[in-house]
Amino acid sequence: MEYKNYYESYWIPIIEQLGMTHRPHDTRHTGVSLLTTAGVDKRIIKKIVGHKGQGITQAVYTM
């Protein structure tokens, strides 16, 4: 499935129905925070979100 198809066919209708204004990228913050809280190894989280640099994942995506 192409991103545009997913975004227009699934994401937008669900977000509008919920009365929200989020984008798919916004879910990265929640995902990384939940994984960190659950004690998932930082190296695994970096692989999931695709970061290679030191500190980017923790500095940008955790609460």
Residue-wise pLDDT for 9-29, tens only, equals: 999 999 999 999 998 888 888
Q: Where are the domains of the chain?
A: 24-63
What is the CB neighbour count within 10 angstroms for residue 57?
23
Banded model confidence at residue 46, pLDDT cuts 50, 70, 90: confident
Extract the tokens encoding 58. Answer: 């923790």
Please report, for the chain, how many H helices and E strands are present, in that order: 5, 0
Q: How far apart are CA 10 and CA 8, in angstroms?
A: 6
Residues of the chain with pLDDT > 90: what percent? 35
The predicted model scores a pTM of 0.57
To which residue do tokens 């989280």 refer?
Answer: 45
Does the structure show a pLDDT above 60 at 57? no
To which residue do tokens 């030191």 refer?
Answer: 54
